[in-house]
Amino acid sequence: MDLLGAMALFLVICLSCLMVLSTWHQMHRKSKMPPGPTPLPLIGNFLQVNTSDMYRSLMKIGEKYGSVYTIHLGPRRIVVLCGYDAVKEALVDQGEEFSGRGEQGTFDWIFQGYGVAFSNGERAKQLRRFSIMTLRNFGMGRRSIEERIVEEAHFLLESLRGTKGVPFDPTYFLSRSVSNVISSIAFGNRFEYEDKEFLSLLSMINESFRFTATAWGQLYDMFSNVMQYLPGPQHEAFKKLLGLEEFITRKVKVNQETLDPNSPRDFIDCFLVKMQQEKENPNSEFSLKNLVMTTLNIFFAGTETVSTTLRYGFLLLLKYPEIEEKVHKEIDRVIGQNRSPNMDDQTQMPYTEAVIHEIQRFSDMIPMGLARRVTRDTQFRGYTIPKGTEVFPVLGSVLRDRKHFARPEVFDPQHFLDANGQFKKNEAFMPFSIGKRYCFGERLARMELFLFFTSILQNFRFKSLIPPEEIDISPMLVGFATIPRFYDISVIPR
Ligand code: HEM
Ligand SMILES: *[C@@H]1O[C@H](CO)[C@@H](O)[C@H](O)[C@H]1NC(C)=O
Ligand SMILES: *[C@@H]1O[C@H](CO)[C@@H](O)[C@H](O)[C@H]1NC(C)=O
Digitized pLDDT (tens) for each residue of the chain, 494 residues in all: 566 666 666 556 655 656 655 655 555 555 699 999 999 999 999 999 999 999 999 999 999 999 999 999 999 999 999 999 999 999 999 999 999 999 999 999 999 999 999 999 999 999 999 999 999 887 655 468 999 999 999 999 999 999 999 999 999 999 999 999 999 999 999 999 999 999 999 999 999 999 999 999 999 999 999 999 999 999 999 999 999 999 999 999 999 999 999 999 999 999 999 999 999 999 999 999 999 999 999 999 999 999 999 999 999 999 999 999 999 999 999 999 999 999 999 999 999 999 999 999 999 999 999 999 999 999 999 999 999 999 999 999 999 999 999 999 999 999 999 999 999 999 999 999 999 999 999 999 999 999 999 999 999 999 999 999 999 999 999 999 999 999 999 999 99
Q: Ligand 1 centroid to 105 CA: how many Å? A: 17
The 10 Å Cβ neighbour count of residue 53 is 16
Q: Ligand 2 centroid to 20 CA: how many Å? A: 32
Quote the crossing angle between the two packed helices 288-319 and 121-140, to the nearest 10°.
Answer: 60
Q: What is the pLDDT of residue 21?
A: 59
| Ligand 3 mutation pick, 176, 199, 203, max ligand atoms within 8 A of CB | 203
Q: Ligand 1 centroid to 440 CA: how many Å? A: 6
Q: Ligand 1 centroid to 382 CA: how many Å? A: 30
Q: Nearest residue CA, atom 30 of ligand 1?
A: 441
Ligand found nearest the CA of 307: 1
Ligand found nearest the CA of 488: 3
The pairing of beta strand 76-82 with beta strand 390-394: parallel
Q: What is the pLDDT of residue 124?
A: 98
Distance CA 78, CA 44 (A): 11
User: How far is residue 341 CA from its own chain's centroid?
Assistant: 27
Q: What is the pLDDT of residue 137?
A: 85
Is the minimum distance from the CB of 53 to ligand 2 under 6 angstroms? yes
Q: Ligand 1 centroid to 193 CA: how many Å? A: 25
The pairing of beta strand 76-82 with beta strand 68-73: antiparallel
Ligand found nearest the CA of 50: 2
Task: Report the nearest atom of ligand 1 relative to the CA of 308.
Answer: 1
Q: What is the pLDDT of residue 144?
A: 87
| Ligand 3 mutation pick, 169, 171, 234, 303, max ligand atoms within 8 A of CB | 171
The 10 Å Cβ neighbour count of residue 72 is 23
Q: Which of 209, 193, 165, 180 is nearest to 488 (CA)?
A: 165
- What's the pTM? 0.93
Q: Nearest residue CA, atom 42 of ligand 1?
A: 441
Task: Report the nearest atom of ligand 1 relative to the CA of 438.
Answer: 16
Q: Ligand 3 centroid to 187 CA: how many Å? A: 25
